Structure 1
Amino acid sequence: MKLRSLGATLRIARRDALRAKGRSALVVAMIALPVLGVTGADIVHRSGQLTPAERAERLLGGADAYLTAYAPGSTVHQLPFADDGAYAVAPREGQAPTPEQARGAGTVPADLLRELLPGATLLPAGPGPTTSAASRHGLLQTDTAEADLTDPAWKGRITLVEGRAPNAPHEAAVTRAFLDESGLGIGSTTTLKGLEKTPFTLTGVVEHPGDLGKVEFVGRPGEVVEPLTALAPAAKAPTGLSEQATTKASWLVKAEAGKPLDWAGVQRLNQYGFTATARTAVLHPPADAELSYRPQRFSLDDSPRKNAAVVAATVAGMALLEVALLAGPAFAVGARRSRRQLALLAAGGGDRGHVAAVVLGGGLVLGVAGAAVGVLGGTGLVAVLRPWIEETAGNRFGHFGLRATDLAAIGLVGLVTALLAAALPALQAARQSVTAGLTGRDTVKPPSRRTTALGAVLFITGAATALLAVGTNDGTGRGIAVFAGLDRMTLMVLAGSVTAELGLLALTPLLVSLCGRLARVLPLSGRLALRDSARHRGRTAPAIAAVMAAVAGSVAVGLYTASTEARDRETYRPHTPVNAVTLAVTSGDPQLPRLRSAVEQDMPGLGERADLSQAFYSWCQGCSSEVTVKGGVPRVGGVPGLNTLVVGDAAVLHNAFDLRDPAADQALAAGKAVVFDASRIHDGKVLLQLTGGFTSAPQPGSTPGQDIKEIAVGAVLVDDPAAARYGAGVVGARTVEGLGQGVTVKPVGAVWLPAAAPDHRSQQRAEATTDRLAPMAQLSVERGFQPKGDLPTLALTGFAALVVLGAACIATGLAAADSRRDQATLAAIGAPPGIRRRLSGVQCAVIAVLGAALGTVNGFVPALALLRTRAIDYPGATNPVVVPWGEIALTALAVPLLAGLLTGLFTRSRATLTRRLG
């Protein structure tokens, strides 16, 4: 085609687009929406990719370097960013350490750094212990840190976002998450566990740019970390105070003016066992030849992340057809509405190429407009929603990442999609008879047998490829990128899923034609709707395919997510029955009665209480051990273990083991032990093991034996695997006390089993009371398996529902516009006005139901393939297949019915009479 002809066709296409503004706006919106979404996702992704300077700022703040006493006495090899990779090499056995290694092992790290970096300023920057802070509801677990926020060295690492920096004794700053969970605010006071005599005033809100959800208490230097660390060694039992998050001391370093720490300086510090991330070395990294450490290029141990990538890639690949399938009917109807104009063009000497070029020109014009609107809209949307996106993601953008090549490629995809959507209508328009176009008559052809056969072959081949590709994979090469960052298995699953979808797309005209044969058994509205859909398969099939694509993606991710959650639920092992509230104290704690009453007061409605006790064996003054079932490992204090017989009554069976068996209650009252594992019973008895002291003095190179006694106790078996998860069994206190031989019973806590778990506020109140009465006590609530959330499934279900509604309604609207003559004929022969509503409603429901049914079938292909992928990654693990029937019913049944009802409701009853041409 000549350039002059191309210009003419584009002018015709532009005028036609401006003439049919509604249809043009619809196509532009359908092109722009996915382009907008992909543009936004690309900008968010690029904005989260930190540059070396941005990474350095988040780690170093305004300082020059970040140092860690990684392995004193060893030599360290690292990358410029130590967090990217580092390892230590200790002196070999029998080999003398180097002078640097000896000096690193024999000198306090901070003192050594002052010697190695004269004139530099060291600011301790290591994390403090995790402890509990007083909140409005009780106690809140929080991380701790120290920083002088008035020093510019901290700016960028810890950012003050509200209030002022602490500048007086016993002032502190906290993160927003701390305030949200504690109920406190700026100006409030709080105390830390172990430092109750020192109240802190909260003066500001800080954030870690890379971890916005962190719950942290930031005190002034010397007021928090050191006092809490001094308390940690005394915490031999549960106190709510953990050991320091890391034993490796870290510092921010402000180098002497004019003497920045370069890569040579970093390597020098490595000789003494330090890792160092220096701003100069990061911004001006050494050549690969200067590195003594090589990073690992890929890993085979990140199966969960790879599976998530497979899910995302599969769904994205299946959705690539969505826009073309949705926009295709609009171009088809546009060509049908313009067929008289196109026929005149052909009658005036234009060939088929000119006719097709006009329709394709419409795709080009609207594609350019849609791509531009999508790229600009996505950019603006991310800019407006940036704070919300950052808060949701949990980290700040490093910069606003606009990459021209990415945006151009995304816009080009939108343009190509529009051209693909217009390709089939253009081909159909070019093939139409000039006479039929001038008279407005339709020619109906049966579905192509060749296309139908090709569709069946594609569907079978695609499904087999996706499923068998996983079955024949031996795991080698898993995680190694082959194309576009995807490994071979991912590509085969993706290719097979898309091929199966294309096969169903090719079968759609046949299915529509078969549905048309059912028209004879339906009333008038249904008969007309099915016959019209079958007659105009070029309009109906793409809309059905669009619904199919959306529902397939929703079903695939929904089935995979539901099955993954079911596997996680099966493998979850609670310590006590779900909803159980457990109070654990050190054996014989005199505060236990007060603690029980306090818990019941702070958590009303707990129900029956079961008092827990344990049996202890004393073999000398001040020497005792826990009595266990034979084969168990003795434990000192704490909650009973799996090899421990809990001492108590029938209430313990009810609450601690969720077992309500009258026979077991009677056996326990009769003095017998109740156990849940047949392997522990021999001749109707269970053997209790009493472990005493060593039988001989320890000798070099040998392990001394221990004095072990065994006592047989009558027992009954209750074969309950669920109860066996929580302990070996239960025995009555009188039975244990009657054993003698130094065996005693001591109370260790209580357990309640309410119908529903207490709320978090009452738990915080009870924990605060427990901590006040007995700092060594522990209070826990077993809330059962907590799913990570069905946000992806819900989002895809919602998206699929919108596409089902949109595609069905769009196709119905186009059908209504395309069948005005038929509707006018009905009105002329006296058909009631309501028949037009029913006709539109049934047409819409047919499109939605067929598309949803095909999408449900097609969605199982990638889902089952992905589940087989997971089975390879986790050999021997349970891999249930759970179908989310609720989501499927919503998209496959409820939404199509809703679409039909809405379409019928909003369709005008009366039609306008038209004049027939010819």
Structure 2
Amino acid sequence: MLFNFPRRRVAARLAWRDMTRHKARSIFATLLVALPIAALVAGLALLTGTPNSRQRALAAIPRNAQAVLTATAVLNTGQPFMQAPEGASLWVDSPSQQPASAANIAAITPDQDALLRYWDSETLIATAGGDLQPGDQIQVDAAGADTTDSAGSSGADLDGAVRAKLRETEHDALPLLMPPVAQGAAPQDATQAVISASLAEQLHLNVGDTLTLTAPPFQGAYSTNGRIGAVLQNSRRAWRISGIADVTSTLDVWTYSGWLKGMVEADGGNGVDAHYLLVGSEPLTWTQVKRLNMLQVVAVSRHVLTDGYPSAEERYPRQIDVQQQLMQMVSVTVTAFLGIALTLFLITPAFAVSADQSRRILGLTAACGADGVDLRRTMSFQGLFIGISGGMIGIIAGIGLSYAAAPALKGAYVHEVAGMIPWKMLPLAALAAVMIGLAATWMPAHRVSRMNVVDALKDRSDNGERNRRESRLYRVVTAISTAALLGAAVACAMGGLAMPMPEFGDADYGSLPAEAIGAQLLLIGAIVFSFAGLIQLIRLIAQLCERHGTLLPLAVRMGLRDAGEHHRRFVPAAAAIAVSVAVASYALTMTGSLIANDRSNAMEVVHGHSHAVVSPEVPIDNAVDRAVVRSALNAISDDLPVTAHQPVYALAEVPPETADKLNVAEANELMRRFPNAAARLATPLDCITSSDPDRGQDVASAHNPNAQPYCVGASRSYRPLYRGLTMINADFSVLIMSGDAMRLSGFANADKAADMLDRGGVVVGNAATLRKDGTVDLEISHSAHNPDGSSAPDVVTGSASRPGVWVDGFFPLAMSKETAQSLGLTAFRYVGDMVQFTDAPGWSTLDKLRSIIDDRLPLVNGTSQSYRYSWGTGDPSSMLAELLPFALLMLLAIAATVISLLLARIQIIRDLATMHAVGASPGFLRRFTLAQAAIMLAAGTPTGMVTGLALGIFHVAWYRHIGYDGAWLDTVPCWGLQAALLIGVIAMGLGVAWLAARPSRKLTRRTLD
């Protein structure tokens, strides 16, 4: 009578009854589905989602304005400025280009609308009070190119000075561009200004006080304002504060046009970007925006962002970097397969246990007339229910994680997070959860559909299955298939690495070369075969457990036999542990290798956790900059004991734009006064001497004095990045420093390098420049112009050989002042002081230094070792950001181990009751449970770690093969942390097993009659 109801409804009821009866197992399985779905939703939001640029662009358009326009100084070659509808963030201005005029722009914008211009400054020096009266403006005689330490004549009073930025507007534009005034009133004319509350607090200013702004010497850095810094440099102006706005922003001062406008007009306006508001009743369309782009004008229109957003065909075509696309494809493929495998193997043991626990009830169901399809449906419905519930919980949790993490990690406002969440992907995430639940039940459902009813009613395994599993042929097939699958994985990996990659470069969107697609397919094959081989290997281990260990203690033998007899529980449970460990091990290998790759192209001035460089944030001249740094060091020493400090200089360069005002002969004569030096490679390379931008020195030879340098492509060549010094008008490739300064750098061979400097030698950071005899060849040259005014090749004026020493990771070249002067190098620029602090544990000293500078010293910058952790040394506590993913994955591996062991405990509770009933002691039962856990851990952790290491090594080898963003010289598994992972998982697993192994009080002890 039972199956008079529709069969699917009966199967669903049986599945639901079984889930509610075994709540712990159902909760475990649901959470294991929810966790990866939550990680997927949050990961997509944080990795691929960005704060809604359209909303931010709209917010940047003032109320009552139709658009914001910027007439750039980009050289007009007849091609449009290809902007996005949301605008453009970066562009390259030409100092000689005159931006489009207001008349040219107005010819395209609607006739009813008006253009209102405004001006933005670069960073200025703000002080309270001063000798100037509001509205007064002077030109200060600042020696920005001063190459000595004599007092400059800038006259800048920097006591209590801070950094600030200024916005000037035409009269009608100020109410639109200025924030609401909280105290005082809006400016009445160009002698008054409104300042931000943060600037008022820093300078202790009130309404009615005087504010003075000084433009520092131009250092050659351009922004979206063009060369406004060059136009404004060495000038000063004062205002009376008419109001204070209760805001904190990148802009600090608002006033009517006067200072900036007058300086730009007097200079001619070449190279200075012109900013406009479009105000009126008519909207600016995308068609009009594209016409403006032909004038090199960037336009952000309210209408375009709201009602007239262009279709993909109307927007400018996009281009992709093929190497970057390949790199992303590999990362996504590996991550996706690891995530799918992890989820499947984490929840499959729960359904395997469910199938074993439900054998008797399923046998009764079969005896009442249910066929194999009905039994399979019962298990499948469990997967469906858990997939749906886990998917919904995971989606909700993922959205919550996005809201919690996006403000800190992506700089998004809370109201912007909704735009970052991939809402269209949420149904797919829910479908993925359901598919995962159904996939995890496929094997258990298939098994119960073929279940022997008599054996099920007796609650024992099928004899036919047991005989088949114990046959020699079955074991041989398992061993051969294991070897074949792992061999196929290796073959696919080697094939992908051996496949030649095409010449890379920009390509139309989506046009990946055929070679890249083939290599991607081989990559997928390698991952699929490796995980299939991993499962077969664990199945083979289960067979070996059942047949070996006859001389071991009874509890261990029973544990081995249990692993073999309940292989359908043991294999997925051990596989869950293996996959979890593999993911953590893989992530650790990739993290260590990524940092090693970044470090291979980094050149730093200091090394260690008690060394730093304190440099001026807004450079003026040598004397003023040194005074600012010395004052800052006095303030710092009140909280951080300073052991010693020494100045560091660099070769001065021609002041920006100075040569542009001279004729060719005068410009070349000026450039001769600013020569530069370079350490030549001991083995000359054609790709270096020819200055081929697409070729360069290999990375390995820069770090190994015994390596022979050779030419490689630009993407994998040695491209040193200077870290640790402020952006000023100096050539950082040549540092001028004393031996005492070098001793404060913190490098391992700093003392040896210091002695070399004191003896008139040089220090190099590129090992390939040091000759076999311990000398370095130096080339002295200077820049030059052709007769037509264009840049000419550098003019070599001399060469010399000096003894040298190599310091790995240091800047390209360093020498003492005396050595530099003997080579004809006499123009020096102060860049900062090398500082050594009293040694303290970890990186607390440098963290405190950063806090002091951020809070109290706005005119200086403190830089230290960029990569604080050299794997194998140092303090791991300082690498929270780098180690956080590994820590989370390690916790996941431990959680997978714990859940697998608890599921095993649920299944053997009846066996424990039986053993207890026939006289087994609590101690024996605990040993038996521990043996089960140890065998599961022994099968899962080593295989998982080997798999994770292999994947990480392969992934690094892939990056090395395509040569994207570095040479990827080193594969860094981080063995110490790998050992911590292995020991941690095993220790936690055994610890949980020991706690769970305590016999339940519900066990009934029976005595023999």
TM-score class normalised by the smaller sequence: 0.7 to 0.9
Residue 205 of structure 1 corresponds to 247
Residue 150 of structure 1 contacts residue 165 of structure 1 at CA under 8 Å; is this kept in 2?
no
Task: Give 1:865 shift.
Answer: 2.9
Residues 269-348 of structure 1: pairs in structure 2 closer than 5 A: 269-270=292-293, 272-281=295-304, 283-284=307-308, 294-296=316-318, 298-300=319-321, 303=324, 307-348=327-368
Task: Give 1:347 shift.
Answer: 2.6
Q: 1:885 to 1:767 in 2, by over 3 A?
A: closer
Task: For residues 445-474 of structure 1, give each alpha carbon's deviation from its aligned partner in whole angstroms, at most 9, with x where no partner exists.
Answer: 336543443333222212332342133141
Residue 210 of structure 1 corresponds to none
Q: Which amino acid aligns with 1:730?
A: S
**Identity rate, percent:** 20
Residue 237 of structure 2 contacts residue 259 of structure 2 at CA under 8 Å; is this kept in 1?
no
Residue 974 of structure 2 corresponds to 884
Task: Give 1:564 shift.
Answer: 1.3
Task: Give 1:501 shift.
Answer: 0.9
Q: Which amino acid aligns with 1:217?
A: L
Residue 82 of structure 1 contacts residue 275 of structure 1 at CA under 8 Å; is this kept in 2?
no
Residue 581 of structure 1 corresponds to 613
Q: Distance in 1 between matches of 2:826 and 2:45?
A: 69
Question: Bigger CA drift: 450-459 or 133-142?
Answer: 133-142
1:865 is the counterpart of 2:975 = no
1:843 is the counterpart of 2:843 = no
Q: 1:602 to 1:302 in 2, by over 3 A?
A: same
Root-mean-square deviation over aligned CA pairs = 5.8
Q: Which amino acid aligns with 2:458?
A: T
1:109 is the counterpart of 2:101 = yes
Q: Distance in 2 between matches of 1:223 and 1:431?
A: 86
Task: For residues 858-886 of structure 1, give each alpha carbon's deviation from its aligned partner in whole angstroms, at most 9, with x where no partner exists.
Answer: 12333233222322343783521101224
Residues 557-572 of structure 1: pairs in structure 2 closer than 5 A: 557-572=587-602
Q: Which amino acid aligns with 2:80?
A: H
Residue 395 of structure 1 corresponds to 412
2:68 is aligned, of 66, 69, 85, to: 66
Q: Distance in 2 between matches of 1:762 and 1:451?
A: 61
Task: For residues 344-399 of structure 1, give each alpha carbon's deviation from its aligned partner in whole angstroms, at most 9, with x where no partner exists.
Answer: 222333333333232223323333333344445545x36xx626523431124657
1:31 is the counterpart of 2:33 = yes
Residue 277 of structure 2 corresponds to 252
Residue 448 of structure 2 corresponds to 429
Q: 1:808 to 1:124 in 2, by over 3 A?
A: same
Task: Give 1:400 shift.
Answer: 3.1
Residue 217 of structure 1 corresponds to 251
Q: Which amino acid aligns with 1:333?
A: V
Residue 897 of structure 1 corresponds to 987
Task: Give 1:709 shift.
Answer: 8.9
Task: Give 1:228 shift.
Answer: 12
1:606 is the counterpart of 2:633 = no
Q: 1:263 to 1:504 in 2, by over 3 A?
A: closer
Residue 334 of structure 2 contacts residue 527 of structure 2 at CA under 8 Å; is this kept in 1?
yes
Task: Give 1:783 shift.
Answer: 3.1
**TM-score in terms of structure 1 length:** 0.74
Residue 76 of structure 1 contacts residue 87 of structure 1 at CA under 8 Å; is this kept in 2?
no
SS at match of 1:819: helix
Q: Distance in 1 between matches of 2:540 and 2:274?
A: 71
Residue 807 of structure 1 corresponds to 896
Task: Give 1:87 shift.
Answer: 13
Task: Give 1:540 shift.
Answer: 1.1
Q: Distance in 2 between matches of 1:145 and 1:565?
A: 41
Q: Distance in 1 between matches of 2:259 and 2:821?
A: 46
Q: Distance in 1 between matches of 2:729 and 2:97?
A: 37
1:81 is the counterpart of 2:99 = no
Task: Give 1:216 shift.
Answer: 1.5
Task: Give 1:539 shift.
Answer: 0.5
Task: Give 1:505 shift.
Answer: 1.1
1:727 is aligned, of 813, 817, 839, to: 813
SS at match of 1:783: coil
SS at match of 1:607: strand
Residue 676 of structure 2 contacts residue 780 of structure 2 at CA under 8 Å; is this kept in 1?
yes
Task: Give 1:803 shift.
Answer: 3.4
Q: Which stretches in structure 1 are left out of the alignment for 5+ residues?
A: 91-103, 207-214, 234-242, 773-777
Q: Distance in 2 between matches of 1:405 and 1:450?
A: 45
Task: Give 1:85 shift.
Answer: 8.0
Residue 418 of structure 1 corresponds to 437
Q: How many residues align?
A: 845
Q: Distance in 2 between matches of 1:540 and 1:707?
A: 74
Q: 1:753 to 1:826 in 2, by over 3 A?
A: same
Task: Give 1:508 shift.
Answer: 1.1
Task: Give 1:64 shift.
Answer: 1.4
Q: 1:532 to 1:454 in 2, by over 3 A?
A: same
Task: For residues 400-448 of structure 1, give each alpha carbon's deviation from its aligned partner in whole angstroms, at most 9, with x where no partner exists.
Answer: 3587763333222222221221221122223332222222233543365
Q: Which stretches in structure 2 are left out of the alignment for 5+ residues?
A: 129-157, 216-235, 653-668, 681-727, 871-877
Q: 1:706 to 1:61 in 2, by over 3 A?
A: closer
Q: Distance in 1 between matches of 2:898 and 2:793?
A: 82
Task: For residues 173-229 of structure 1, give each alpha carbon's deviation from its aligned partner in whole angstroms, at most 9, with x where no partner exists.
Answer: 479xx999x8999999998665796697864336xxxxxxxx613432448993998
Residue 239 of structure 1 corresponds to none
Q: Distance in 2 between matches of 1:42 and 1:661?
A: 46
Q: Distance in 1 between matches of 2:804 and 2:120?
A: 49
Q: Distance in 1 between matches of 2:171 and 2:553?
A: 78
Q: Which amino acid aligns with 1:581?
A: V
Q: 1:626 to 1:367 in 2, by over 3 A?
A: closer
Task: For residues 578-600 of structure 1, give each alpha carbon's deviation from its aligned partner in whole angstroms, at most 9, with x where no partner exists.
Answer: 62436689998499689657635
Q: Which amino acid aligns with 1:77?
A: P
SS at match of 1:321: helix
Q: 1:122 to 1:172 in 2, by over 3 A?
A: farther
SS at match of 1:252: strand
Residue 120 of structure 1 contacts residue 253 of structure 1 at CA under 8 Å; is this kept in 2?
yes
Q: Distance in 2 between matches of 1:531 and 1:682?
A: 65
Task: For residues 261-302 of structure 1, give each alpha carbon's deviation from its aligned partner in whole angstroms, at most 9, with x where no partner exists.
Answer: 23454455456553434333453356888x6x8413x31266
Residue 454 of structure 1 corresponds to 481
1:120 is aligned, of 113, 119, 131, to: 113
Task: Give 1:889 shift.
Answer: 2.2
Question: Bigger CA drift: 416-425 or 831-840?
Answer: 831-840
Q: Distance in 1 between matches of 2:174 and 2:830?
A: 55
Q: Distance in 1 between matches of 2:25 and 2:857?
A: 68
Q: 1:467 to 1:551 in 2, by over 3 A?
A: farther
Q: 1:482 to 1:699 in 2, by over 3 A?
A: closer
Residue 383 of structure 2 corresponds to 363
Q: 1:504 to 1:125 in 2, by over 3 A?
A: farther
Q: Distance in 1 between matches of 2:36 and 2:925?
A: 33
Question: Bigger CA drift: 128-137 or 861-870?
Answer: 128-137
Q: Distance in 1 between matches of 2:790 and 2:253?
A: 50
SS at match of 1:64: strand
Q: Distance in 2 between matches of 1:232 and 1:770?
A: 35
Task: Give 1:536 shift.
Answer: 1.0
Residues 609-758 of structure 1: pairs in structure 2 closer than 5 A: 609-610=645-646, 625=673, 642=733, 646=736, 648=738, 650-655=739-744, 673-676=760-763, 717-722=803-808, 725=811, 727-730=813-816, 751-754=834-837
Q: Distance in 1 between matches of 2:651 and 2:835?
A: 21
Task: Give 1:572 shift.
Answer: 0.5
Residue 117 of structure 2 contacts residue 173 of structure 2 at CA under 8 Å; is this kept in 1?
no
Q: Distance in 1 between matches of 2:503 and 2:4?
A: 54
